[in-house]
Amino acid sequence: MLLVSIHLARSEAVKRGVPVWISPLTTNDWSSGWEIRIDDGDDVFDSGADELFRRFDPLKSTITNAPARIELSGQGNLVIPSSAVTLRLKPSGCENNEQRQITIELSGRARVTRVSCSS
């Protein structure tokens, strides 16, 4: 669901031509769920002022290597963080190659790969 929300946020940013934020519901804890917010025009994340677009429920996975938040520009490019980022989703009871790695390139495009639970 996280990959889908990244694609959705990028699509919405391009459609509206304004920055879009993806952030965890609890500070630095993506496992608690996350939300997509449409920037109010100041290019600063503010959950009190930026429009809530969609909220996502928690996953039964541990999410690591995730930034505090993600910003996609009105052109769909990754702005924050300022370099490509790779998040890891490890489901509870992970076996074999069930762990997922989501990479967001500077272009804002995201892809998923399967990786070993031991890595």
Q: What is the DSSP string of 2-47?
A: HHHHHHHHHHHHHHHTS-EEEEEEETTEEEEEEEEEE--SSSS--T
In a domain, 114, yes or no: no
In a domain, 117, yes or no: no
CATH number of the domain where residue 45 is located: 3.55.40.10
In a domain, 19, yes or no: yes
Confidence of residue 38 (pLDDT cuts 50, 70, 90): very high
Residue 79 CB neighbour total at 10 angstroms: 18
Q: What is the pLDDT of residues 55-74, one digit of tens each?
A: 999 888 889 899 999 999 99
Residue 64 is part of which domain span? 2-83
Taking alpha carbons only, the member of 34, 69, 73, 37 closest to residue 52 is 37
In a domain, 91, yes or no: no
In a domain, 21, yes or no: yes
In a domain, 18, yes or no: yes
Length of the chain, in residues: 119
Q: Is the overall model pTM greater than 0.95, yes or no? A: no
Work out how many domains the chain is built from and give that number. Answer: 1
